[in-house]
Amino acid sequence: MLLAFWTELSGKETTMLKSPSSASGNPSLEEPVTMRIIAHIESDFKEKFGIPRQSGLVDSLKARIVFQPEYRDPLAFRGLESYSHIWILWQFSKAAGAPWSPTVRPPRLGGNTRMGVFATRSPFRPNSIGLSAVGLERVELQSPRGPILHVTGADLLDGTPIFDIKPYLPYTDAYPQASPGFSLPRDQGKVQVVIPPQWLERIPQALQRPLEEVLAEDPRPGYQHDPQRVYKMAFGGLQVHFTVDGETLTVCRVEESL
């Protein structure tokens, strides 16, 4: 069994302890593996509910990657600005330390069908590690907090710890003809979003398009279909209340988060 122990977000490193024994008897498996937190992300998602199920589904989402002081040397970013996309290796911080299960129930399959954890992107894994490809809008080298990466399409909770950044290479990282397995087509499950004028005017203009596109992905679990139920989603300093009837999602209240 693998055991994972994680530091708080403010910490600089994360230690994962491996099993004390193995079939091969390799003593190296007893040694701890250290992963250093090099940065964290600043996004509009203060809560898990509403975060797109995959990166790149909502390209209008903007976020910032802010680095720990010891990783702010501008030389470490030389050449990065020439890439349009990057890979982010990060921690499922809300699931860290939680027990893992060999099977999970993907919400998009209705929440009742169990699939193998390694056939899904569930956060409840032996090691709570996530991988996302995001757009690199620009590299800001000069700021009071050191270099900042401005990215688009991220599917990360605000404050998520980041272990590494790598450039995305389209000639090796993209497989357009790859089989999607049991995952649903990208557009399946989308809904039409209606935001009445009295609520739209309460949403800052910069947030209107990304919010509408996030809602269009239908944040509800796949097993919830009650048209009378009011859902609440935290986004960009707002609390957005909505209902879903059939294929239409209607915003029924917008208020500032406390």
pLDDT at 98: 76
Domain 39-173 in CATH: superfamily? YaeB-like (2.40.30.70)
Task: Report the alpha-carbon distance of residue 13 to residue 34 in Å, rounded.
Answer: 7
pLDDT at 7: 44
Q: How far is CA 84 from CA 63, 89, 209, in A?
A: 15, 17, 22
What confidence tens digit (pLDDT) does each residue in 189-222 have?
Answer: 799 999 999 999 999 999 999 999 999 999 988 7
The per-residue pLDDT of the chain, averaged, comes to 87
Q: Which two tokens stand for residue 137?
A: 């809008």
- Among candidates 146, 144, 147, 174, which has minimal Cα distance to 84? 174
Q: pTM for this one?
A: 0.86
pLDDT at 111: 73
Which amino acid type is present at position 59? D
pLDDT at 222: 76
Q: Is the confidence at residue 2, as pLDDT, over 60? A: no
What confidence tens digit (pLDDT) does each residue in 110-126 have?
Answer: 777 899 999 988 888 88
One-character DSSP codes across 59-126:
TT-EEEEEE-GGG--GGGGTTGGG-SEEEEEEE-TTTTTPPP-SEE--GGGTS---EEGGGS--S-SS
- Among candidates 206, 203, 242, which has minimal Cα distance to 224? 242
All CATH 3.30.2310.20 domain ranges of the chain, comma separated, are: 192-256
Task: Report the alpha-carbon distance of residue 134 to residue 65 in Å, rounded.
Answer: 11
pLDDT at 36: 94
Mean pLDDT to the nearest integer, 140-146: 95
Q: Which two tokens stand for residue 172?
A: 């090796």
CATH for the stretch 192-256 = 3.30.2310.20
Task: Report the alpha-carbon distance of residue 240 to residue 220 in Å, rounded.
Answer: 13
Please state the φ and ψ torsions of residue 205, each to the nearest 5 degrees.
-55, -40
Q: How far is CA 9 from CA 137, 184, 255, in A?
A: 25, 34, 29
All CATH 2.40.30.70 domain ranges of the chain, comma separated, are: 39-173
**Of 93-102, 138-147, 214-223, which gets the smallest average pLDDT?**
93-102
What confidence tens digit (pLDDT) does each residue in 41-63 have?
Answer: 999 999 999 999 899 999 999 99
- Among candidates 245, 217, 212, which has minimal Cα distance to 230? 245
